[in-house]
Structure 1
Amino acid sequence: MSVVALSLDQAQSPTMQEPSYASPCQVSLPEMCSLLFASLPRSDQRRKGMEYIRGLLEVRGRKSIRNIAALVGGQATEQSLHHFISDSSWEWGPVRRALARYVVSVAPPQAWVVRPMVIPKAGRHSVGVERRFFPEHGQMLNAQQAVGVWAVAEELSVPVNWRLQLSPSWFAEDRRRRASIPDDASAETLGECALQAFLEAAAWRLPSRPVVMDARATDVASTVPRLLDRGMPMMLRVDDSLRLSVTDPALKGFDATPRPVRQIMSASRGLQRPVVWPDDSVGAVRRSGLVTAVRVALPGPRGRRTGTGPCDLLLLGVGSTDRRRPGEVWLTDLTSVPPAFLMRLRGMVRRVDQDLARGAEQVGIRDFAGRSYRGWHRHVTLASAAHALAALGDTDDGVLGYAS
């Protein structure tokens, strides 16, 4: 077992028992589809699901229903595929759960990375679309925003769950009806959407692995205990305005008064140490940087483990050119693993971004042109399955293998 896998196993909660999965195996497209679509009640639905995934893998250019139908059957097929994606009754949740369990069996994950995805749109009618400012792009965009939960292994990452962020404007009666938004959906902030996307996947009893996510848009005080309750270790990027209590004996002059992270980091420059770690996203490259590690706790009752005392957390400042303030700040409950391992976890976000760009986008993860909530969810579910097939390198029929 690798050092990384060993560290992950040591970090697991003793109360979280992993389910049993099938032995690793290489399956063909039909065999994998039989696993994914076992929950679909009708054979024609299972056949259309396989045709759609085949189209996502083989069609050149935009993966529209029209282009997929042209590949697999023509105009009549276009109508039936449109119904299968937008108007049919099959549930995407069981398909995603089957995909997640398959991925775990053949490429055991080292972490679950929760990552937003922006989907630019020309019009305003696609479900969830808004015109808003996206800091990561530095501009206003007319776009949908979704959150993916990715299983990240040593050499690949695969999305296993998706959640579409919906603002309050989408719950006006006319917009909700036109987009077929279900009654149990509700408006969410990006942070709420990210947390719920992961909690949905965690309910499938997947292995306990660190959850890596940007939590600057979340209520960290409520996010941390909810992850701990699921038995999931965590590595959360936080905002430097977050208030925490210092518990580290190496940092003198601090009492239990909650203080902003920026103040804690400013007082901790003497604890800064050089760290070297492997960057899995670019092969055998090793990176180095200055990392500050300070023991902290969330203030108040939310910062306690089931009433037994403060939850021991580690605040990590990752160096920048400005030695007075770190470029990034992360919060984790993995207090006993080396900083190099924590930096490797941090780098898994880059792996997901690369696999999204060079893999998931090639199978059309952003290409759904319909307007309905259900259609969007079914499309990204099948695109995730197509990405998994390609990333796992099943090249028997020549349609897979772009992931190299």
Structure 2
Amino acid sequence: MPRADQRRWGETYIRGLLLGNGRRSVRSIAEGADVPDAVQSLQQFVNQSPWDWAPVRRRTARYVDEHMTTHAWLIRPIYIPKRGGQTAGVARRYVPRTGRTLNCQYGLGLFLSDAETSAPVDWRLVLPSPAGTGARSWLPGRREVGPSEQSEWCHVLAMADDVAAAVPVRPLVVGLRHVTGVERLLQGLRQRGLPFVVEVNDSMPVLRQLAPSSLPGGARPGLTQIRSLVQETTARRQPVMWRQLHDAALHRSYVTTVPVRLPGTVAGSGGGADCLLVAVWSAAATSAANFWLTGLPESQVGHVLTLAQLAARRERDVDTLSEGYGLLDFEGRSSRGWHHHMTLVSAAYAFAQLGTCSQQQEQRAG
């Protein structure tokens, strides 16, 4: 931050996030930082002060990457319940975790992840569509959407670009099963040369990348829903051994792998979206439960499963951020205030988590 007063209030806000109790309102943040008379100043700092959050996030990303062994970048959704409709980004949206439609903000976070910890370093607020229905699902034949419509794929690429400017590139794991514009997302990741593992819905149509003579039952090489494609190729289901990053024990999963291409892309072109479909079967191996598209080769399927497993712990990390650092507690209405708050939550969380790790390492070394 360029000004001394901004740095002072930034430190005060973070101190309040770390030391406050219960819900992190501005008042409780002020009390946690032992400046109970500074509520108005903190409100002005987080809601109206014009400081740029992007340099703070880049510095946070570098700090995190210096203090942990980053294995992947994770994209995670965050739903923030809100009352009324005057807050930036609020709309009625279906929240998968609750199984209900809620009045809420919908954001995306990019986390740097190692074997034990993940820390958020960038955020985007997804604004509602013009129809007011929130983020839209991918539909075959839907027209392309631009940045002005706040599409998810644009946000994901923008976050990847920002973080890549600050830290060394790692595989990007996108745990958004219904991400809008997935074909544009994968094309953009290919153009950037970023390794990726992207969760997709089983109803998504893809093109087989197989010779016609090898297609089962005389099937044509046209658009096929992922679920149908996997059922057609069940003979290729195979066990794969893999490890969780924090667990030395081997795990076995049954997978089906199929080379595919997304509709609307050109095979073999520099910006094409040829990729590998990895379908992970249930424990009983009776049905495929999860579907991932990746740019990694088939020889690295075990690594794909390791990366995909990182996405499964997203709820734990979001719970920790919500309960201990005030992730869901921002009281303002502006998108500027939201970005300021989320930036400071990220800094507080990284400091607390990595400080604990550093202390443990020092104790073991001692």
Aligned to 1:263: 228
Count of aligned pairs: 342
CA contact (8 A) 1:147 1:197 kept: no
Q: Distance in 1 between matches of 2:321 and 2:299?
A: 31
Equivalent residue, structure 2, for 1:56: 17
Cα 1:370–1:344 change in 2 (3 A) is same
Q: Which runs of 5+ in 1 are unaligned?
A: 1-39, 172-184, 398-404
User: What do residues 57-104 of structure 1 show as CA deviations (whole Å, max 9, x unaligned)?
Assistant: 111111111111123354541111111100101010110011111111
Aligned counterpart in structure 1 of residue 106 of structure 2, from 119, 139, 145: 145
Question: What is the rounded CA distance, in whole Å, between the counterparts of 1:303 and 1:247 in structure 2?
Answer: 9
Give the alignment partner of residue 253 of structure 2, picking from 284, 289, 297: 289
Q: Which residue of structure 2 lines up, in the alignment, with residue 332 of structure 1?
A: 294
Counterparts of 1:140 and 1:59, CA distance in 2: 31
SS in 1 for 2:324: helix
> Over the residues paired in the alignment, what is the CA RMSD in angstroms?
2.8
Cα pair distance change 1:383/1:302, threshold 3 Å: farther
Q: Give the aligned partner of residue 182 of structure 2.
A: 220
- In 2: Cα distance, 1:246 partner to 1:273 partner: 19
CA contact (8 A) 2:89 2:127 kept: yes
Residue 42 of structure 2 is aligned to residue 77 of structure 1: no
Per the alignment, do residues 53 and 347 of structure 1 end up closer, same or farther by CA in structure 2, a change over 3 Å counting? same
Structure 1 residues 301 and 71, CA gap change in structure 2 (3 angstroms)? closer
Distance 2:37 2:93 in 1: 39
Percent sequence identity over matched residues?
37
Aligned pairs for 1:268-283 (under 5 A) are: 268-280=233-245, 283=247
- Counterpart position of 2:364: none
The residue type equivalent to 1:278 in the other structure is R
Is 1:161 the equivalent of 2:161? no
Q: Which runs of 5+ in 2 are unaligned?
A: 133-146, 360-366
| CA distance, structure 2, for counterparts of residue 51 and residue 395 of structure 1 | 23
- Out of 319, 324, 332, the position equivalent to 1:357 is 319
Offset, 1:312: 4.3
Give the alignment of 1:4-403 within 5 angstroms: 40-168=1-129, 186-189=148-151, 191-192=152-153, 194-202=155-163, 204-213=165-174, 214-248=176-210, 252=216, 253=218, 256-280=221-245, 283=247, 286-306=250-270, 312-320=274-282, 325-359=287-321, 361-394=323-356
1: CA distance between counterparts of 2:66 and 2:283?
42
Write the distance in 1 (CA, Å) between the matches of 2:248 and 2:352. Answer: 23
Deviates more, 1:216-225 or 1:374-383: 216-225
Runs of 4+ in 1 over 6 A off after TM superposition: none
Displacement of 1:321: 6.2
Q: Distance in 1 between matches of 2:287 and 2:166?
A: 39
Change (3 A) 1:261 1:324: farther
Give TM-score scaled by structure 2 length: 0.84
Q: Give the secondary-structure state (helix, strand or coil) at the position aligned to 1:123.
A: coil
The whole-number CA distance in structure 1 between the counterparts of 2:248 and 2:90 is 40
Give secondary structure in 2 for the equivalent of 1:392. Answer: helix
